[in-house]
Every structure is written in structure tokens, then in C-alpha cells.
């Protein structure tokens, strides 16, 4: 809080002081000279000399302040201004005191308390600058006190005090002429300015408070998560760096846990983001109850959390805590008449054995978390050095994939679908292959999972569709009939806003009618969000395009959803075909799938058929459409063209 004189020390006020000082210096010396003439025969030479000396000395100091301000008035800093005002206030105070002392000692005034009172009033009036901090009021008090005192003595007819009266009148006239007159004319404006200045300062203080609160708010938003009030990634990394320094000083161990909720996207997609936010808050509350007060829990956004465990004794303690946390998070969440189950995957890195800086420890914990997901989810994994190599390989693969899309490095292989009783080609599946300019042909098993996780699969699927449709049309122009073209379709593809338009445009600009195209969706992909998948697949089916469920039997689909899906074919997964007819369990599963298809009026096709025994078993049990190495591997377009020209596939 500033003092009063600091609060009102503005430039305009100082310039007014400057003006009054400039005139007042010589005026004060003139007053001293006049008064010395008045009192030369009244008071002793000692008092007269002291009065002249004191006022001359004060006038010199006043002149020194005048020169200082004249020289620096445009370059003064705030602190210098207030310092100057303080010195000037002291100076004015002593001027008042000296006048009061002079009145007090003349004409034996020491025995008259009236004079004593007047001397005190004059001193306070002159020195009021120190207490009131308002120059205008000081001058007004000064002049008013002197004028009133003179009038009172005149009315009382106290002629013995003519010297005092003359003194008051001379001093009052001097101050009135030097600056009192100027301010007397503007007294109302001065009062208004004073009120306005105070109001302005109050507004400034309020604005300052608001800005401080706003700054605190922005600072909070920059460092904390809005949904959970947990530290965000920025603050987490800052605290992790501090924790590492402390652990280094104390020769201690700390652990970083990267926690990711399993299949959380499905909760958002199925129940909405509002429900997803509530789940995040429930999960946060449970984790906060499980951790120690010395640990730091953070949310990076979405379903990602991170935890700093300080002063851990060994990996066993970390394992026990991680298992406890997994069990805690797996407990059912009940709200809004719903019961939800959620699991989590945890990756762990340890200081100092895995790294000695915050970025590496967090990166390694993240890599370990991905290993936990690859290991079946709902478990924890400690970081191992080879995880970094895998992560680097993944990043390199993603980068090369993007280059491959740009450089058109993908080629299409075709695998025939055959009607076993006649050995006739009835269709073909288009399968993507990547011909890397250096590494050669790269298996889809290496790049498709990465493409799916980064959404690059959308661009790759569209490349496959464009090239395959163009090739099939070329064959048809040559009089060849490859049958129905089957293309793989991911739910990420149909989630894009322009997919239906893209699909319609491809058909309109090609020779294919909708019934010549079949889209294959995997059972597991559809069951991630069955209700939404049903709606979107219905739109595609209404275009006249048939839909097949690929890898059927691996996704645990509900019969109620299966009945609602607009599908025309079930594709028996090769994992069930591989061991028939020698494995009774697989035989039973295949027979159930075939029977289910017939009951739902669906076609069936078996993939991965490599041996005659497998083919015979399938045909005998009602599945006559076959795809697999028994007839042909996926081949390039020119080789598939040879098969088409032959008409039949001989076995």
C-alpha cells in the first residue's frame, strides 16, 4: 500500500510545486527583509539575526531543490519524484515552524497562550503536507489561518499586537500572491480532481486485482487439467525434474508409471463424452486414494495418466503397488443406473537404472505401457532397452509409410475365390503389398497394424480400392470375368465424412455396378461399436454393395447384433480351418458357423484353405466357396490374368 503523498505525487502536481517554488524563493527573502525592518526595534538582535539566518538558509535549500527539479523534471523516475516531494514537505514544515516561533517570541508572547495556539496552528498548517499529502489543502490552510488570525486580532482591537498583525498580513499576502490566488480560483476543480483521482486509483487497484486473478487463472489452466484438477504434462515434467534432483542428492530411487485406460474410446463412442468424463473423474478419485501423499499423479489428456513414485525401495514394491492399482481400477463403476467395467495398462520406468532425465523416463514408461497393451492389456510391464528399439522401428516404419503413400509404392495382389465343385473363379480379394525401393516386398503383417493405429490405413484402403477397380474394369474390357471384387474395409474408413461420396464417385467413374463389389469388415472391428456400425453399413448396403464379415468367429459377436447387421456373407477365419478335419473342436466350430449362416440365409466362404482334406471337409459340410493356397497364393495382376484366361483352376 502506497503512502498518501506517494499516491498523489503526479506530474501535474509537481509542476505546480515547481512554479510556486520559483516565485516563492525570492518572495521569501523579500518577506524576511520586510519583517526585519518591522521587528528591528522590537526584538533582540539575536532573535532577529536567527530569524534572518534560518529563513535565508531555508530559501537556499529551496533554491537547491528548484535547480534539481528544473534540471531533472523530465527524467525523474517515480522513486525520485516521491523523494523530492518528501524533501519539499519537510522544507515547508520548517518554514511554518519558523514563522510560528517568530510569532511566539515577539512582544513577550510566551506568556500568552493565544499566541502559542496560533503558532501551533501555523506550524501544522505549513507542515500539513507531511500528514495530508495534498498540496492544495496545505496552501489553503496556511493562507486561511493567517488571514483569519489577522482579522480576529483586528476585531478584538488588540493594538498592542500590531507587529503580529503586520507579520500575518505580510506573510499571507505573499503566499496569496505567489500561489494562493491561483489555487483559490480553482478550489472546486481541485476538490473534484482529488475525488476523481482517488476514484481512479480505486479503479486501478480493482483492475490490478482482476488482472492478478486472471493471471492466476491462466497460470492454473496452463499447469492443471480442467476436468480432474490434476497437474498436466507441463507441471508433471517440472515436478519430475525436481524429483530426479532430490533423488540424486539423496541417492534414492524413483519410478515413473504411465497409465492408460483400456478401450476407453469405446465408452466415449457408446455412451457419449459426458459419460466418458465421469469415468475419468471416478478413475482419478480411485487413483488418488491409492497413492501416497508424496507421489504426484498427473493427467496428460484423454485416458492417459502418469505417476511419480518417490523413494521406492525396490521393484517388488513397485510391482505390488501396480497390481493393487490395476485391481482398484478394474472394480465396477456405478452411476446413472449404469455399471461400467474398465481395465488399464501400466508401463514403468525407474530412475536411475533406466534414465537420468525426465523426458527419457517418461518416454520409456510410455514404451512399457504399449508393451503391456500388446501383452493382452490389464497388466503392467517394466521398461526394457529393446522396447526403445521397437519404438524407433515403429517410428521409422510410420515415416516410411507416409513416403510410400506419397511415392506410390503400394501394389495390389489378387487371390481368387473359387467355387470348389466346379473349380471356377467366382471372385477375387484385393490385397495390398508394399514394394519398398530398398527393402523389397514388405508383408502386410508388418505395416498394416501401424497403418491402422495412425489412420494411414484410410489412405492405403483408398489406394487399394482405386487401383483394384481400375484393374477389374481393364479385365472386363478384355472380355474376362473376375467375378465379385472383395475389398477390406476398416471402421476408421467409414467414420470419415466423405467415404460414402468417395465410394459413389468411384463406382460412377468405373465399369462396376454395385453388385460387383463386396466390402469385408472384420468381426472385431464391427463389435467395437456395433450400433454405430449397423447404421453406417446400412448406408453402404443401400447402395447395392454386399458386405461380408471377415475373420468370423474371432470377435465374439452377439447373435442379436449379427441378425441386425446388413451382411450377406460370413468368412470363416483361417484359425478354425487350419486343423480341420483332424481337430474335433475346430470341426465343431466350422459346422456351427456353416449352420448359422444357413439359418440366417447368409453365404459362407472359408479362407486359409491349403490342403485337399480341408477343402473336402468344407464342401461336404455345406461350404463350397474356398479361398486359400490350395488354389492360389495372392498373385500380381498379370499372373491373375493368366488364371482368368484359363477359366478353370485345375487341381
Task: Judge if 45 and 134 occupy the same domain.
Answer: yes
Q: What is the Cα–Cα distance from 366 to 383, expressed in whole angstroms?
A: 9
Asked whether residue 457 falls in the same domain as residue 563, the answer is yes
Q: DSSP string spanning 135-170?
A: HHHHHHHHHHHHHHHHHHHHHHT-GGGHHHHHHHHH
Instruction: Indicate whether 205 belongs to any domain.
Output: no
> Per residue in 510-534, pLDDT tens?
888 888 999 988 877 777 777 777 8
pLDDT of residue 485: 92
Same domain, 442 and 493: yes
In a domain, 110, yes or no: yes
Q: What's the CA gap between 441 and 420, in Å, rounded?
A: 31
Whether residue 376 is found in the same domain as residue 432: no
If DSSP codes are grouped into helix, strand and coil, which group holds residue 26?
Answer: helix
366 and 441, same domain (yes or no) = no
Low-confidence ranges of the chain (pLDDT < 50): 1-9, 109-113, 115-116, 120, 123-138, 159, 180-181, 183-188, 190
Do residues 335 and 259 share a domain?
A: yes
How many angstroms separate the Cα of 237 from the Cα of each of 248, 297, 369, 380? Answer: 16, 11, 18, 22
- Which of 185, 217, 252 is the endpoint of a domain? 185
* Secondary structure element (H or E) that encloses residue 548, with its range: strand 546-552
Does residue 484 belong to any structural domain of this protein?
Answer: yes
Q: Quote the mean pLDDT of the chain.
A: 77
371 and 399 assigned to the same domain: no
Q: pLDDT tens digits for 439-475?
A: 888 888 888 888 887 778 889 999 999 999 999 999 9
- Asked which of 350, 383, 416 is the last residue of a domain, the reply is 383
Residue 226 forms part of a structural domain: no
Indicate the residue among 185, 204, 224 that finishes a domain. Answer: 185
* Residues 278 and 377 grouped into a single domain: yes
- Within a domain: residue 424? yes
Domain range spanning residue 76?
Answer: 4-185
What's the helix, strand, coil split of the chain in %, to 5? Answer: 65, 15, 20
Read off the pTM. 0.52
Same domain, 109 and 15: yes
Is 587 part of any domain? yes
Q: Are residues 355 and 403 in the same domain?
A: no
Q: How far apart are CA 425 and CA 81, in angstroms?
A: 99
What domain count does the chain have?
A: 3
**Half-sphere exposure (CA, 13 Å, Cβ side) for 599?**
9
Looking at the domain assignment, is residue 69 inside a domain? yes
Statement to judge: residues 351 and 442 lie in one domain: no
115 and 253 fall within a common domain: no
pLDDT in tens, 356-415: 899 989 988 998 898 888 878 888 989 887 766 776 777 788 888 888 888 888 999 999
Amino acid at each position: 500500500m502506497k503512502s498518501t503523498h506517494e499516491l498523489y505525487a503526479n506530474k501535474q502536481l509537481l509542476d505546480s510545486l515547481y512554479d510556486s517554488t520559483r516565485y516563492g524563493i525570492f518572495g521569501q527573502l523579500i518577506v524576511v527583509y520586510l519583517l526585519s525592518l518591522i521587528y528591528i526595534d522590537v526584538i533582540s538582535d539575536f532573535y532577529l539575526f536567527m530569524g534572518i539566518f534560518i529563513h535565508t538558509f531555508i530559501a537556499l535549500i529551496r533554491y537547491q531543490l528548484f535547480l534539481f527539479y528544473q534540471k531533472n523534471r523530465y527524467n525523474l523516475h517515480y522513486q525520485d519524484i516521491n523523494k523530492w516531494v518528501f524533501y519539499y514537505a519537510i522544507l515547508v514544515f520548517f518554514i511554518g515552524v519558523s514563522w510560528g516561533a517568530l510569532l511566539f517570541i515577539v512582544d513577550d508572547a510566551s506568556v500568552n497562550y493565544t499566541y502559542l495556539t496560533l503558532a501551533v496552528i501555523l506550524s501544522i498548517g505549513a507542515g500539513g503536507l507531511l500528514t495530508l499529502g495534498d498540496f492544495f489543502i496545505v496552501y489553503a490552510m496556511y493562507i486561511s489561518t493567517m488571514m483569519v488570525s489577522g482579522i480576529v486580532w483586528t476585531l478584538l482591537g488588540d493594538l498592542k499586537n500590531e507587529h503580529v498583525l503586520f507579520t500575518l498580513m505580510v506573510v499571507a499576502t505573499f503566499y496569496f500572491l505567489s500561489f494562493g490566488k491561483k489555487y483559490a480560483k480553482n478550489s472546486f476543480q481541485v476538490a473534484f480532481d482529488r475525488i476523481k483521482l482517488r476514484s481512479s486509483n480505486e479503479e486501478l487497484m480493482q483492475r490490478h486485482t482482476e488482472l492478478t486473478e486472471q493471471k492466476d487463472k491462466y497460470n492454473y489452466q496452463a499447469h492443471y487439467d480442467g476436468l480432474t484438477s490434476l497437474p498436466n504434462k507441463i507441471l508433471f515434467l517440472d515436478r519430475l525434474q525436481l524429483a530426479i534432483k532430490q533423488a540424486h542428492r539423496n541417492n534414492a530411487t524413483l519410478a515413473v508409471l504411465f497409465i492408460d485406460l483400456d478401450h476407453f474410446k469405446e465408452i466415449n463412442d457408446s455412451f457419449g463424452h459426458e459419460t466418458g468424463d465421469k469415468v475419468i473423474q471416478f478413475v482419478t478419485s480411485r487413483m488418488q486414494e491409492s497413492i501416497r501423499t508424496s507421489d504426484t499423479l498427473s493427467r496428460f489428456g484423454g485416458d492417459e495418466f502418469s505417476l511419480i513414485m518417490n523413494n521406492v525401495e525396490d521393484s517388488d514394491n513397485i510391482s505390488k503397488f501396480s497390481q493393487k492399482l490395476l485391481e482398484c481400477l478394474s472394480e465396477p463403476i456405478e452411476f446413472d443406473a449404469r455399471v461400467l467395467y474398465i481395465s488399464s495398462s501400466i508401463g514403468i520406468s525407474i530412475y536411475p537404472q533406466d534414465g537420468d532425465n525426465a523426458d527419457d523416463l517418461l518416454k520409456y514408461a510410455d514404451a512399457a505401457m504399449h508393451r503391456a497393451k500388446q501383452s493382452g492389456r490389464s497388466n503392467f510391464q517394466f521398461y526394457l532397452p529393446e522396447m526403445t528399439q521397437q519404438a524407433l522401428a515403429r517410428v521409422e516404419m510410420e515415416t516410411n509409410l507416409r513416403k510410400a503413400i506419397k511415392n506410390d509404392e503400394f501394389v495390389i495382389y489378387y487371390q481368387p475365390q473359387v467355387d470348389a465343385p466346379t473349380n471356377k473363379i467366382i471372385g477375387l480379394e484385393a490385397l495390398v503389398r508394399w514394394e519398398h525401393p530398398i527393402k523389397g516386398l514388405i508383408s502386410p503383417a508388418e505395416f498394416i497394424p501401424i497403418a491402422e493405429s495412425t489412420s494411414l490405413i484410410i489412405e492405403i484402403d483408398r489406394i487399394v480400392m482405386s487401383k483394384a477397380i481400375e484393374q477389374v474394369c481393364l479385365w472386363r474390357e478384355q472380355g474376362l470375368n473376375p467375378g465379385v471384387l472383395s475389398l477390406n474395409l476398416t471402421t476408421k474408413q467409414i467414420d470419415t465424412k466423405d467415404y460414402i461420396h468417395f465410394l459413389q464417385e468411384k463406382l460412377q467413374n468405373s465399369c462396376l455396378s454395385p453388385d460387383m463389389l463386396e466390402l469385408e469388415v472384420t468381426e472385431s472391428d464391427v463389435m467395437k461399436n456395433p450400433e454405430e456400425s449397423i447404421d453406417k453399413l446400412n448406408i453402404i448396403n443401400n447402395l447395392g454393395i454386399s458386405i461380408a464379415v471377415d475373420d468370423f468367429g474371432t470377435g465374439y459377436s452377439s447373435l442379436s447384433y449379427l441378425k441386425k447387421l446388413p451382411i450377406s456373407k460370413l468368412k470363416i477365419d483361417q484359425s478354425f480351418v487350419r486343423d480341420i478335419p483332424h481337430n474335433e473342436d475346430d470341426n465343431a466350430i466350422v459346422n456351427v458357423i456353416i449352420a448359422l449362416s444357413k439359418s440366417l440365409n447368409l453365404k459362407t466362404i472359408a479362407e486359409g484353405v491349403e490342403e485337399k482334406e480341408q477343402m473336402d471337409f468344407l464342401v461336404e459340410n455345406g461350404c463350397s466357396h474356398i479361398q486359400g493356397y490350395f488354389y492360389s497364393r495372392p498373385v500380381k495382376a498379370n499372373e491373375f490374368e493368366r488364371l482368368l484366361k484359363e477359366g478353370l483352376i485345375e487341381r
